[in-house]
Amino acid sequence: MDLILCHTTADFDTLGAAVGLTCLLPGSKIVLTGGAHPPVRDFLALHRDEYPLIERRSVNAEKIRSLTVVDAQQRDRLGKPAEWLDLPQVKTITVYDHHMGQDSDIPATQFHIAPVGATTTLIVEELQQQQITLNPAQATVMALGIHVDTGSLTYDQSTPRDAVALAWLMAQGASLSVISSYRDPGLSPQLQRLLTEALEKLDYLCLRGYTIAWVTLQTEGFVPGLSSLASQLIELTEIDALLLANEHPLNKDDSRLTVIGRSQIPGLHLNQLFQSFGGGGHSQAASLNLRGVDSQDILQQLLKGVKAAIPHPPTARDLMSSPVRTIRPETTIAEAQRILLRYGHSGLSVVDSQGQLMGVISRRDLDIALHHGFNHAPVKGYMTTNVKTIAPDTTLPQIESLMVTYDIGRLPVLENGQLVGIVTRTDVLRELHQNSRESGEINPGFKPPLSTQHSKLSTELQSRLNPQLWQLLTTASQAAEERGWHLYLVGGAVRDLLLAEAADKSLMITDIDLVVDGFHKSADVGAGVELAKALQEIYPAARLEIHGAFQTAALLWHKDPELDSLWVDIATARTEFYPYPAANPEVEASSIRQDLYRRDFTINALALRLTPPRAGDLLDFFGGFLDLKAKQIKVLHANSFIEDPTRIYRGVRFAVRFGFAIEPRTEEYIRYAINSGVYDRTAQTNTKTPALQTRLKAELKHILEAPYWRSALELLDDLGALQCIHPTLSLDSELKSQLRLLERCLRRFAPQPNLIPWQMRLEVIIAHLKPQYRGKVAKNLQLQEDSIKHLQNLAKAKSEIEESLPKVQYPSQVVQLLRKYNLEILILIALQSQQKIRRQIWYYLTVWANVQPILNGNDLKKLGYKPGPQYKQILDDILAATLDGLISDRAEVEKFLSQHYPL
């Protein structure tokens, strides 16, 4: 009897490798030596009969001829069957494993150990060499082994050999649907209870920018699936390293300790750490099992080893905000408070006329001065002059220690005596609690699907763009680098890159937003414009537009043979302030961090650095990548919708376009802003409210010309956001019906120059308001003059038609009545009228309006009629007779003329 031994608590890798070995060793049987992971157990509940599995108790030890151990090198991982290794008749013992550097106590005659991601890969390679084919059931379980042990090729230990093995298994018929079902199963009820307990008991330690967590769970017996529990804890808490210990009694005097380790920290190799305690695994995942030990002592030793292996911390240069908002010592308390309110800072640096740091004043200092009535006093009397400062290379632990020891909320960063930045408590907390990976520019929350994803984003972008567009970005980054500036691709292009990559789609970019961050070289507000001008010299075919008020420039190509109709916006990194709700923001040059902070939603606050030395780094300060992954729209600021109501419309547009949900808290902010009445109040007190006028119209255009416009309108109505157009507006059943009928009209009459689909949809929406509001709303949204006029005149025209149309008897009378109105207003009237009126208008538009007189002016001249004013009357009478069925051919027309207009 040839047996293949899986280790205790079998996972998919040991099972997949064992199944593959049964193909290499015909007639061999698989023994599960003791339990299985829950997903493996569930899988075998359905698929057990497809594999040569036998129970340990059914094995006749005297008949064993050979043993093959898979995915293990220690006897204690084989449970009771480890006794078979010492049977005298067993002459061949083979070990297959992929855990390197382990000391084996198995008396093997052959070892097959290699640095691959999964033991199954080694078996696949031998199957390929021997040209053995598999059936789908065999290929599926082996593919599961590789997927699970390599994290679907995302773990650090994954190799090209694993990828090749997976590809071969797919060619052998591995079922992707089965793999998807078992690769990431849910937790069992027992594990769900332990998850709740673990979340409550979890201890944390923040060290060098990373968060380490550990917990000990006491149970009555062995718990299968602890590795799944560890993975769930990592995902829910977004920690960087986890030590999950489980202790349970074996008998009155003995107990077993199991520790599961998980890490996402570069440079921390858990396998090396766990091997020193008799365990093993991979760099990112390892485990150990011990008996009769002090569980807390072992856990503390492991924790000490984890802390020792964490890489060096970031420095002030990585954390600081720059440029620094400064004031002079003679600035008044009131003015300093206004500046704090405007920029959202918690303190200000005070400098002299040479830019030398004199002190720092905090919001608390200002509040006290204001409380005592010193509004007009200079800040120099209240600022802190004994200022603690740091250098650019001061480490995060040192910064944290200074802040805690001296209760300091901000530390100026000086380089050669010059103020180059400032580190605040917010910067430190962001680094500690959001787990920055590499520096202050890399979002702590960025958890890419591939471990090195962010460093490859520029390569991904290059592969998705045509060469000419990539060359443009390269040229732009080189021009920025020459000036000592950083250049970033920001916003929608980065978002769409990540979405396209996740969906394996090509990315076509026609609008590109670039941001210049030049504070390192004291770049002023015109950096973006300067870069745009430099690019136009290289690309003279592009038209340059400069928008000085917003510090932006645009390069536009029109039907260019290489770049087609490309639009590139180039802006200087800036911060902004809204003087009142719905106003245009006031902007000032700032850093890329502040530029991203001013944006609307987290998924749009992403930036990809284009300039070296860190080209390809993703900046994600607000968790935008995670929100993309979660498919949710999340706003950056609580007051975002109060400041700019068009963000509500953009949020809805993105949600419907991408199939995302609006995050619950974001929805609360939307409803609060709408129900607060702030838009009505600001419109009454300010003549210019662009976010309720031109910018709102632009957002409506984007929505109403998109294929998903119906869904977007429904979501806007559900949120109450149509009130931004007018407080009385809602998408009731009548308006829905009118919009449905409009689509029939658009299909029938488009394309026509004046019949623009999105504009007609908007006019139907406005026309649904009471007559006294229509013209005002149309003017407010700055529609075209013709649209404003027929919306203003719609009620009068509708009344005339509804009063006159039922009285006419002949088609010619209908035509005479309706032809004085243009197509757009007739469509609006038809949509609002009763069915009988609507049918007459429809028949007029589709039939009677297209009827022409049988004769024209030339024909009349040939018949002897002298040209003159009577021609119009004659032709009108001929048309009327034709419409009314009195004449139908030329002979009847001539007879008609002889009777009514004799020569």
Q: Is the pLDDT score of 164 beyond 90?
A: yes
Tell me, what's the pLDDT at 455?
A: 41
CB 590 within 8 A of CB 575: yes
* pLDDT 10s digits, 99-128: 887 778 899 999 999 989 999 999 999 999
Nearest to 845 by CA among 832, 870, 828: 828
pLDDT band of 251, cuts 50, 70, 90:
confident
What average pLDDT is seen over the chain? 86
Tell me, what's the pLDDT at 778?
A: 94
Q: Is the pLDDT score of 376 beyond 80?
A: yes
* pLDDT 10s digits, 479-527: 999 988 889 999 888 888 888 754 444 455 788 999 998 654 444 557 8
* pLDDT 10s digits, 296-314: 999 999 999 998 887 666 6
Tell me, what's the pLDDT at 753?
A: 72
Tell me, what's the pLDDT at 425?
A: 82
Residue 606: HSE in the Cβ half-sphere, 13 Å Cα cutoff? 26
* pLDDT 10s digits, 716-740: 999 999 999 999 999 999 999 999 9
Tell me, what's the pLDDT at 460?
A: 62
Tell me, what's the pLDDT at 504?
A: 47
Tell me, what's the pLDDT at 439?
A: 32
pLDDT band of 653, cuts 50, 70, 90:
very high
d(CA 766, CA 795): 12
Q: Which residue has the higher pLDDT, 688 or 27?
A: 27
pLDDT mean over 775-789: 92
The dihedrals phi and psi of 892, each to the nearest 5 degrees, come to -70, -30
% of the chain residues with pLDDT over 70 = 91
Distances (CA, A) of 189 to 193, 257, 308, 777: 6, 22, 36, 57
Tell me, what's the pLDDT at 521?
A: 47
pLDDT band of 185, cuts 50, 70, 90:
low
Q: Is the pLDDT score of 224 beyond 50?
A: yes
* pLDDT 10s digits, 321-339: 776 778 999 999 999 998 8
CA quadruple 665, 671, 675, 677: dihedral, nearest 10: 90
Which amino acid belongs to residue 309? A
pLDDT mean over 235-264: 88
Tell me, what's the pLDDT at 533?
A: 93
Contacts 24+ apart (CB under 8 A), 404-408: none
Q: Which of 61-75, 252-266, 648-662 has the lowest mean pLDDT?
A: 252-266
Nearest to 78 by CA among 187, 3, 19: 3
Q: Is the pLDDT score of 812 beyond 70?
A: yes
Q: Is the pLDDT score of 161 beyond 60?
A: yes
DSSP 566-623: -EEEEEE-EEEE-SSTTSPPEEEE--HHHHHHTSSBGGGS-EEE-STTSTTPEE-TT-
pLDDT mean over 465-476: 86
Q: What is the model's pTM? A: 0.58
Tell me, what's the pLDDT at 728?
A: 94
Q: Is the pLDDT score of 461 beyond 50?
A: yes
Tell me, what's the pLDDT at 432?
A: 63
Q: Is the pLDDT score of 198 beyond 70?
A: yes
CA terminus-to-terminus distance, the chain:
121
The dihedrals phi and psi of 378, each to the nearest 5 degrees, come to -75, 150
Tell me, what's the pLDDT at 508?
A: 59
* pLDDT 10s digits, 733-763: 999 999 999 999 998 887 777 789 999 999 9
Tell me, what's the pLDDT at 441?
A: 32
pLDDT mean over 542-568: 85
pLDDT mean over 237-266: 88
Q: Is the pLDDT score of 549 beyond 80?
A: no
Tell me, what's the pLDDT at 589?
A: 67
pLDDT band of 713, cuts 50, 70, 90:
very high
pLDDT band of 450, cuts 50, 70, 90:
very low
Beta-carbon contacts of residue 275 (< 8 Å; ≥ 6 apart): 101, 102
Nearest to 243 by CA among 216, 264, 278: 216
pLDDT mean over 30-48: 86
Nearest to 279 by CA among 304, 253, 305, 260: 260
152 φ/ψ sector (left φ>0, alpha ψ -120 to 50, else beta): left
* pLDDT 10s digits, 410-436: 899 998 888 888 888 877 876 665 443
* pLDDT 10s digits, 134-151: 999 999 999 999 998 888
pLDDT band of 42, cuts 50, 70, 90:
confident
CA quadruple 177, 182, 184, 188: dihedral, nearest 10: 140
Tell me, what's the pLDDT at 827?
A: 94
- Number of residues that this document lists for the chain: 903
% of the chain residues with pLDDT over 90 = 43
pLDDT mean over 545-567: 83
pLDDT mean over 864-880: 86
pLDDT mean over 593-622: 86
Q: Is the pLDDT score of 842 beyond 50?
A: yes
